[in-house]
Amino acid sequence: MKKIFWIVGGSALLLGCILFGAFFAGPLLASAHTSQSNAATPTTTTNAYCEQYLQDLAKRLGVSVSTLQQDSLAAKEDVLAQLVKDGKLTQNQADAIKQRLASHQACSGKGPGFERGVAQHSLRQYLPNVASQVAQGLHLSVNQLKTDLKNGKSLDQIATAQGVSSSQLHTLVLNAVQSAVNQAVKDGNLTQQQGTAFIQALQSHPGVLDKLLSRSFGKSK
């Protein structure tokens, strides 16, 4: 029974991964190509927890890690073939994804994507305070900010309309998020390391807050 549980659970996880790749492969492949072009000596990091998961799953299924990885790749290729058959992907798209999957080393990658995702999830409960602080800095009510976001406007566009410069907006956003991060760390919902990493990511990718606020407040109630 335990083996069946792990097989089903692992299959669901793999299916989720392949579906993610199917719908977002284009941007991922483009990003990977750009990174390779811009970096003369790219560095690869290894996720120890991912390796532990693979080893544990392989042990529970009674197979080697290499066999597990081979079967995982074969299952993904089967799903790709079905997606092509169902008209969800072109053959060229499937081949590009397949090539990417075949060249990808398990448990390796560039950048703390998982940790950043955890931080974003943990910060969601603090977004009302972030929105309030940002709205105040933009000389708007929170409802006005929500309405603009719901109408598809970015923070940059809203700031421009309010006579707030990009540098002023950048400082405003960082201060608001830093306050939220500090509170999350104090509440035990984030580690200091996670909070610092998220702030650094926000500095490099300011659009992250746009997405978070739009998802939380940019929808009709």
Three-state SS for 108? strand
If you average pLDDT over every residue of the chain, what do you get? 77
Polymer length of the chain? 221
Task: Look up the pTM and report it.
Answer: 0.56
Whether the per-residue pLDDT at 4 is higher than 60: the answer is no
Give tens-digit pLDDT for 149-191. Answer: 888 888 899 999 999 998 999 899 899 999 999 999 999 988 8
DSSP-derived secondary structure letter, 46 = E
- Name, of 7-11, 41-45, 105-109, 210-214, the range with top average pLDDT: 210-214
Three-state SS for 109? strand
Exposure b/e, 99-115, CB count within 10 A at least 16 = b: eebeeeebbeeeebeeb
- Separation of alpha carbons 181 and 183, rounded Å: 5
Instruction: Categorise residue 89: left if φ over 0, alpha if ψ from -120 to 50, beta otherwise.
Output: beta
Three-state SS for 48? helix
Give tens-digit pLDDT for 5-63. Answer: 444 444 444 444 444 443 333 333 333 343 344 444 445 566 788 889 889 999 999 99
pLDDT of residue 201: 83
Structural domain boundaries of the chain? 2-38+45-110, 115-217
Give the torsion sign (CA, 139, 144, 146, 150): negative
Backbone angles phi, psi at 109, to 5 degrees: 175, 180
Exposure b/e, 13-25, CB count within 10 A at least 16 = b: ebeeebeebbeeb
| Count of alpha carbons within 13 angstroms of residue 200, beta-carbon side | 11
Give tens-digit pLDDT for 55-88. Answer: 999 999 999 999 998 998 999 999 999 999 999 8
